[in-house]
Amino acid sequence: MSQPTNAEYTLPSSPGRKLTLLPLVMILFFSVSGGAYGLEDLVGSSGPGMALLLIMITPIIWSLPSALMVAELSTAMPAPGGYYAWVKRALGPFWGFQEGWWSWVTSFVDMAIYPVLFADYLNTLLIQQFGFKLLEENELAHWAVTLVVIWSFVLVNIRGSKGVGEASKYFGLFVLVPFGVMSVLGLFQLVGNPVAFWTPFIPEESTMLGAFGTGLFVVMWNYLGWDSVSTVTEDIHQPKKTFPRALALAIPLITLCYLLPVGAGLQAAPDWSLWTAGYFPEVAALVGGSWLGAWMAIGGLVSAAALFNALMLSISRLPYFMAEDGYLPQAITKRHAKYDTPYIAIAVCASIYSFFTLSAFASLVVVDVIVYSAALILEFAALIALRINEPNMKRPVRVPGGWPGIIIVTALPCAVLALAVYSTWVEEGAIALYMSAAAIMSGPILYPFLKKYVKKDRPSVPVEIEYEDGTVSVR
């Protein structure tokens, strides 16, 4: 067994400041979902029946396998850095770097979307309520709003994970309640006036594969991120117990948060062709009145802000840990004197996201999903490699079913990704695939340069695993 180097991942926090179950569930909720906002385009492009089918099956073939993998690796190696540390220990430094780099690069697009959504929702509210069109007519004012969102939550994140968790609880309550009210009212109306809200299954002009593929990337994007909180394992109270429980609660919560409002909404607004981005407030008004529509619209604002807040917590740790390993400038490893948080890494991420909000990057969601999926595949590869090379590693939670279970949970997400990539190529051409390939190749191209000129002789931080007999390997 090799000995640890002098470098250590250290982001300590006192027990009273650590994340317990409910705050962690809500951080997961906002790391993955944030409510059914954004699913309107799924209904409008794929049809009511296909939309409902995708909402129901995607958790089984995409989310559950990912969550099982995360549960095993996070409890076996509750290492700071989460998935970055897992892949580095299992597959080596090169692939560990790719895991960290690809995950960070996807955030450039992903994280820029939420402040822009906040500004868009605010613009709609201001126009509807006051006829105020400044944000629509002045791009600089629109960008200024996105900057306020970004840097406000930079301050929340610098104060630590406890504050992020507490904020997520209150944000979650505000977002979930209107969807819950809408679902209950819609279901009561459905009982009194039954309608086949799932028809047509697909648009008349579409094929089954086309409707499936068009909607699949939208739903995958709304169901990805189960591994995100693993990067702040050191901030979780009893992570070996709390993290798996949070995953088990978050999956059905998010699935129901998608399925029930869409079903209830379709019975009240059956003209599915009108379902486009931002349509949920109008649907809520049809179900429960203008007060519910207004609450749903404000909930969109809160959801966008809460998504950014929760994801900043986990994503900002990636440049921190990569800098700890020597691949990024050492200044990024500085921590706040009072809160002991990686404030430089948080500020670096915020600066990048501030730039990316200048342009419309929504068209890059396909690239986002493909590059994220490449990083996710590395995590499944780490799961397999550790089962082979470290069979006696202590695993408090295991993917059930032995090797057949491992094959199933690995094959399902890979098959979903392959189908999504194929349908994208058929429907949209190869441009998105070329862009995705370029983003993926940036990692292997940068690695030797950063290793030679930035890392130099700086040691990598070791990752510890514990065996069933109590012995420990650190390398």
Chain segment 172-225, per-residue pLDDT in tens: 999 999 999 999 999 888 888 888 888 889 888 888 887 887 788 788 888 988
Report the distance separating Cα 103 and Cα 372, nearest Å. Answer: 6
Establish if 102 belongs to a structural domain.
yes
Among candidate residues 418, 434, 36, 107, the one with its CA nearest the CA of residue 255: 36
pLDDT, one tens digit per residue, over 291-319 is 998 899 899 999 999 999 999 999 999 99
The proportion of the chain whose per-residue pLDDT surpasses 90, expressed as a percent, equals 52
pLDDT, one tens digit per residue, over 319-367 is 999 999 999 999 999 999 999 999 999 999 999 999 988 765 445 667 7
Establish if 5 belongs to a structural domain.
no
Establish if 7 belongs to a structural domain.
no
Establish if 4 belongs to a structural domain.
no
- Structural domains in the chain (count): 1
Establish if 304 belongs to a structural domain.
yes
Predicted local distance difference test score (pLDDT) of residue 424: 67
Backbone φ/ψ region at 140: left (φ over 0), alpha (ψ -120 to 50), beta? alpha
pLDDT, one tens digit per residue, over 132-179 is 888 877 888 889 999 999 999 999 999 988 889 999 999 999 999 999
The proportion of the chain whose per-residue pLDDT surpasses 70, expressed as a percent, equals 94
Neighbouring-strand partners of residue 19: 236
Q: Which two tokens stand for residue 62?
A: 């995409």
Report the distance separating Cα 411 and Cα 414, nearest Å. Answer: 5
Which range (135-144, 316-325, 453-462, 464-473) has the least confidence? 135-144
69 close to 383: Cβ distance less than 8 angstroms: yes
pLDDT-derived band at 261, boundaries 50, 70, 90: very high
Which range (20-34, 65-79, 123-137) has the least confidence? 123-137
Among candidate residues 2, 45, 95, 11, the one with its CA nearest the CA of residue 462: 2
pLDDT, one tens digit per residue, over 30-40 is 999 988 988 88
pLDDT-derived band at 435, boundaries 50, 70, 90: confident
Report the distance separating Cα 391 and Cα 408, nearest Å. Answer: 19
Amino acid identity at 256? L
Q: State the alpha helices, DSSP H only, in 316-474.
A: 317-324, 343-356, 365-389, 402-428, 431-450
pLDDT, one tens digit per residue, over 230-239 is 998 888 888 8
Among candidate residues 330, 334, 355, the one with its CA nearest the CA of residue 344: 334
pLDDT top residue among 239 and 102: 102
- List the domain range (segments joined by +) for residue 411: 15-474
Report the distance separating Cα 51 and Cα 36, nearest Å. Answer: 12
Among candidate residues 411, 399, 314, 437, the one with its CA nearest the CA of residue 62: 411
Three-class SS string for 106-129? HHHHHHHHHHHHHHHHHHHHHHHH
Predicted local distance difference test score (pLDDT) of residue 1: 39
Rg (CA), the chain: 22
* Chain CA centroid to CA 315, Å: 10
This prediction has a pTM of 0.88
Q: Which two tokens stand for residue 316?
A: 């900002």
Three-class SS string for 430-447? CHHHHHHHHHHHHHHHHH
Query: In whole numbers, what is the pLDDT of the chain averaged over residues?
Result: 87
Report the distance separating Cα 146 and Cα 114, nearest Å. Answer: 9
Establish if 301 belongs to a structural domain.
yes
Residue 89: pLDDT over 60 = yes
Strand (E) or helix (H) holding 466: strand 464-466
Establish if 3 belongs to a structural domain.
no
Which range (100-109, 361-370, 409-418) has the least confidence? 361-370
Predicted local distance difference test score (pLDDT) of residue 12: 44
Predicted local distance difference test score (pLDDT) of residue 213: 78
pLDDT top residue among 426 and 410: 410
Which CATH number is 362's domain given?
A: 1.20.1740.10
Predicted local distance difference test score (pLDDT) of residue 8: 44
Exposure letters 87-122 (e unless 16+ CB within 10 A, then b): bbbbbebebbbbbbbbbbbbbbbbbbbbbbbbbbbb
Among candidate residues 307, 242, 328, the one with its CA nearest the CA of residue 107: 307
Helix and strand totals (H; E) in the chain: 18, 2
**Strands (E) located in 103-225:** none
Tokens 């409510």 identify what position?
A: 35
Predicted local distance difference test score (pLDDT) of residue 133: 81
pLDDT-derived band at 427, boundaries 50, 70, 90: low
Predicted local distance difference test score (pLDDT) of residue 362: 47
